[in-house]
A and B are shown apart, each in its own frame.
Chain A
Amino acid sequence: FDSRAPVDIDAARMDLSDDDREVIFSGSVVIRQANLTLNADRVRVTYAKDASGNPQVQRLDALGNVRIAQDTMRASARTGYYDVNARLITLLGGVKMDRAGNQLSGERVVWNLNTRTSSFDARTAANPGGRVTGRFTVPDKKN
């Protein structure tokens, strides 16, 4: 997954503070990068500037009705956190993921954009015994 691909962001409002190297988007934010699409109510983008001054996006914090989609994977959660350099998206709070028919849910999911794998964890401070639930649809074998 090319984490240096251009990032296109659409929103109702944007507040940029170059000194803090931070841009806050609010109002049905849609972020697209390569084949990843992220929707949220509010997204905070933090970036750094490389030697020649090019902005390098470091991190996206998505808050409220977070939905991500990549190829056949759809997921939704309350908040999300995309570490661009590590190519990881962490979804937190009532995560539901649907991958080509397989539904999984949990409290915390780490989705790897490169390997397209996800690791689920349902334990939270409030519910240490939380269980991950999942339903897999197995295509019937033609024998």
Chain B
Amino acid sequence: MASRPTPSSLSPRQRAALPGSRHEALMGQLKWLLPALAGMLALAILVWPLVAAQEFSFLLAKDQVAVAPERLKVTRAEYRGKTAAGEAFSIIAGTALQRSSADPVVELSRLSASIDDREGPSRVTAPKGRYFIEEDRLEVSGPVQLRSDGGYRIDAATVQVDMKRRTIRTDAAVSGATPIGDFRANSLSGDLAGKRITMVGNVHLRIDQRRGRGSR
């Protein structure tokens, strides 16, 4: 190899270019340092999202999320409406439940529907019932108490109450009291105030002229 000129006789640039110089050492280090850094960075990018503790993250699974089954649940509900004659009626219930917006039926419990009109108040109370919103029809079940000033009591399994026309109808066996006495029949229809009643099917009426109308 040609004789090696002594470092002192070279210009700083030439000296810097000599093998083993400071620049050379720096480059040597960088030769492995930079790829290593790049590698670590790549690794960090991959690993870091999995490793780091996420404060809040969730995956919304439509079926696991708690969905309220019914569309509307009200406690101590009150529904106000108008009858055909424009008289206001209201239905008060312990709980009112509408399963879904598709079916316009509200299931009521411990309900009492009342209408005040010129013939006085009429009130239907029952442990359970269903209110058909579109038809303004109340289907009451369980021992139905139907009170009106006419002293009109119905003990029936289920009674259909048409709020709009203020009429009631029951197709199952029914008993109770009318303004004139205790009765029993297969079916009954009449107006809420008890002024006009029709009963069909082995009707039995007991007119008690002394102890008063309809008292047991």
Contacts and interface: CB of A to CB of B under 8 A. Distances in A.
**A and B bind:** yes
B207 A16 contact: no
Interface in A87-120: none
A10 B203 contact: yes
B204 A23 contact: no
A143 B179 CA distance: 60
Bin the interface of chain A by size: 20 to 34
B180 A23 contact: yes
Interface stretch (B70-78, B106-114, B190-198): B190-198
Contacts of A12: 200-203
Interface stretch (B39-47, B94-102, B165-173, B208-216): B208-216
Nearest to B205: A9
Given A16-B197, A16-B198, A53 B212 contact: yes
B209 A56 contact: yes
Contacts of B199: 13-14, 16
B200 A7 contact: no
Contacts of A7: 206-207, 209
A56 B179 CA distance: 11
B197 A9 contact: no
B157 interface: no
A17 interface: yes
B195 A13 contact: no
Contacts of A55: 179-181, 207, 209, 213
Given A52-B212, A55-B179, A11 B206 contact: no
Interface centre among B151, B180, B208, B211 (most CB of A within 10 A): B180
A68 B52 CA distance: 102
Interface string B30-51: 0000000000000000000000
Interface string A52-84: 111111000000000000000000000000000
A11 B203 contact: yes
A47 B180 contact: yes
Nearest to B184: A10
B178 interface: yes
A8 interface: yes
Contact of A9 (B201, B207, B209, B213): B207
Contacts of B185: 14
Contacts of B202: 10, 12
B179 A18 contact: yes
B129 interface: no
A8 B184 CA distance: 11
B192 to A, nearest CB: 13
A40 to B, nearest CB: 15
A143 B150 CA distance: 66
Contact of B195 (A8, A9, A17, A56): A17
B196 A4 contact: no
A5 B209 CA distance: 7
Contacts of A56: 209
A140 interface: no
Given A14-B200, A57-B207, 17 more contacts: A4-B210, A6-B206, A12-B201, A12-B202, A13-B203, A14-B185, A14-B197, A14-B198, A14-B203, A15-B197, A16-B179, A16-B199, A45-B207, A49-B179, A53-B151, A53-B212, A54-B211
Interface of A: 4-19, 23, 25, 45, 47, 49, 52-57
